Amino acid sequence: MAEKFRLEKADSYCAEPVYEAAVSEEMMPAGDGVRLRTVIIRPVTDDPVPVVSIRTCYPGNDEQYRSMGQEFASRGIACVYQYCRGTGGSEGVWEPNVNDRSDGLDMLSSLCGRDWVENIGVFGCSYLAFTGWIVADILPEKVKTVYLTHYGTFRHTSAYKDGLFRQDVLTSWAMGNAGKKVDADYLTSARYMPQERVDEDLWGIRLDWYRSWITNTDRSAEYWNSGVWKLLQEIPGRVKVPVYIAEGWYDHHLGSAIETYEALDDEIKKKSVFQIGAWNHGFHPVIFGHKDKIANADNLDQVRAFNWFHSILKEKKEPEGEIRSYVIGADSWYSDSGFRMEHDKKLRLYLGDKGPDGVHTLCRGAGGGAGSCSYIYDPEEPLFTHGAESLLMTAGGQGSLRQPAPDYRGDVISFVSEPMDEETILGRIRLCLTVSSDADDTAFTFKVSEVMEDGTAWHIRNGITTLGYRNQSPERISYTPGEKVRIVIDSWHIAWKLGKGSRIRVDVSSSNFPEFALHSNYAGVWSQIEHTRRAKQTIYYGGGDDAYLELPLM
């Protein structure tokens, strides 16, 4: 039986640099004859060596790849990176997601046939991780592990939340990867109506793949459940090698990555690691409410990746599986070898009313009691994202940002709890509401913050839903204006320690732009609607189960 190892920390490389590194390039042919630019960085030795394989579409990061390759090769592991067709000097036409399965398998097969290659690990972050996942179920025998970060294989989860498009991520990505330089202003592009024509009208190019993203709103749509996206969802369950998945509480792929990890075979989980840190997509910690307590929020992903590959490929050890979560506020890592993202313990805070135990109230202003609140949501005057998990372009809005005072706008309704005991939130926060609107479709949002003893409030998590996709409906459902309906809004997971004496604040509103596309207050495919209108929103609270915030506790 292989010796097991557990990767506790990655403060430094587990091997010293002892080799010279040799760099070469070749135009590696794909199966259809298209030649793909491939850079090979090898330790200078006559012995076969492990290889880390990477496929990328980002030539602007070439210096970063070369630097990492030099570090790896000097420690005995070769690094080979290849540019996707149509990028970085590779031949062919750039079409995101289309050719990476066949091209990736061709690359791995070519490497396996070389006598200097002992074995292989696949490495990648973001789109580079996609190129790893898309071949992870058809790996040649020499490939022993994959290390894939900041990506998930459930594409609809990365694109939508209850009918609302994750615009700051995918609209900005489309503009930056259109195949030509796009000079249009990003926020103007994000607000353009109808969004379906923004590519030709503002960007000067037609992007059918972007149009497919923004018109297939239903989770049940054939687009997300056929072709490459269907295949991608099925791959995790077919993987047969140890997997290292790294994510951040503030990375825009977190929700999809959690679904990806949960889809792994149980036996593979026993030798796979899912690590979630306090960082964003660029591995930068964005914890501002606890910025004096992040000594252990390590983000040395390159070092950790090398140590993972070194243990498996060079030392032939088998990893021990775990979920490893950084707990914000505690500045510590929590390890769960039971592979659970959430425990069974739940705490409910009732809006405007006391819970069954006579306590745990979220009040409006100075008092409790049942009631209702109304406000006007105007898409032309949106609430801009300030504290978020799913951002890419608007990086300044990301993380545990300090929040304004309660009820800071007329379209923000705030509820605040009594002082809390010291608790640790671990899992998905949920808000249950009864609402109505005078529109035939609209959005509702919530934001949860920790109010410290000094009165400052810091963003923990947010959530959003629409009446057309309420309660996680996989396709659009009808709503009659004025109808009272019960809605459940989920956040993404979080691990967060509340300080003793802190309070919980919940803000309810109807927009969170540009993290999510603006809701026009009209029913229909959001990207095809040409106008907006105002909507009168009403939330009802009190009466026990009618309205409560549910916190999952460790």
CA distances from 536 to 445, 477, 521 (A): 14, 20, 10
pLDDT of residue 364: 63
Residue 317 forms beta bridges with which residues?
A: none
pLDDT of residue 365: 53
pLDDT of residue 341: 83
CA 268 distance to own-chain centroid:
22
CA-based nearest residue to 87, from 26, 33, 36: 36
Domain residue ranges of the chain, discontinuous segments joined by +: 4-155+224-336, 164-216, 346-552
Q: For each of the chain's 554 residues, which pLDDT tens digit applies?
A: 456 656 665 668 899 999 999 999 999 999 999 999 999 999 999 999 999 999 999 999 999 999 999 999 999 999 999 999 999 999 999 999 999 999 999 999 999 999 999 999 999 999 999 999 999 999 999 999 999 999 999 999 999 999 999 999 999 999 999 989 999 999 999 999 999 999 999 999 999 999 999 999 999 999 999 999 999 999 999 999 999 999 999 999 999 999 999 999 999 999 999 999 999 999 999 999 887 777 776 667 899 999 999 999 999 999 999 999 999 999 999 998 877 888 889 999 988 755 454 445 677 654 556 788 999 999 999 999 999 999 999 988 999 999 999 999 999 999 999 999 999 999 999 999 999 999 999 999 999 999 999 999 999 999 999 999 999 999 999 999 999 999 999 999 999 999 999 999 999 999 999 999 999 999 999 999 999 999 999 999 876 557 899 999 98
pLDDT of residue 216: 98
Residue 432 forms beta bridges with which residues?
A: 488, 548
The fold of 346-552 is Jelly Rolls (2.60.120)
Asked if domains 4-155+224-336 and 346-552 share a fold, the reply is no
CA-based nearest residue to 407, from 369, 379, 366, 370: 366
Which residues touch 444 (CB under 8 Å, ≥6 apart)? 433, 435, 464, 465, 466, 467, 487, 489, 508, 509, 510, 537, 539
CA-based nearest residue to 228, from 85, 103, 86: 103
The fold of 4-155+224-336 is Rossmann fold (3.40.50)
CA-based nearest residue to 124, from 315, 270, 229, 253: 253
CB 505 within 8 A of CB 456: no
First to last CA, the chain: 35
